[in-house]
Amino acid sequence: MASLSILNASGDTTVRWDERAFAAGEPEALAAVAEAERLFADARAAGGEAFRLQDGSLAQRVTTLEPTADDQILVVPRMVGG
């Protein structure tokens, strides 16, 4: 099952969907992906960086969300020094 997790000041927000259901056009999966894409775009526009997490390997930076892939994506906010 694919997911998008966005870290933020209040904790995190996670959206999950079945990538096969999305590919088949199931309404629940389509709605989840639409929400994930909106959150992804908003977080990236605010300076967040996205990473694909895979067991046994280093995180890989990503710039697009691939809803048909079984990916675990984590978006972290821009770090601000003070």
pLDDT at 8: 83
pTM (predicted TM-score): 0.89
For the chain, the straight-line distance linking the first and the last C-alpha, in angstroms and rounded, comes to: 38
Alpha helices, DSSP H only, in 1-82?
A: 19-23, 27-45
Give the C-alpha separation, 64 to 27, whole Å. Answer: 22
CA 2, CA 54: separation in Å to the nearest integer? 12
For 23-80, the pLDDT digits (tens) are 999 999 999 999 999 999 999 999 999 999 999 999 999 999 999 999 999 999 987 7
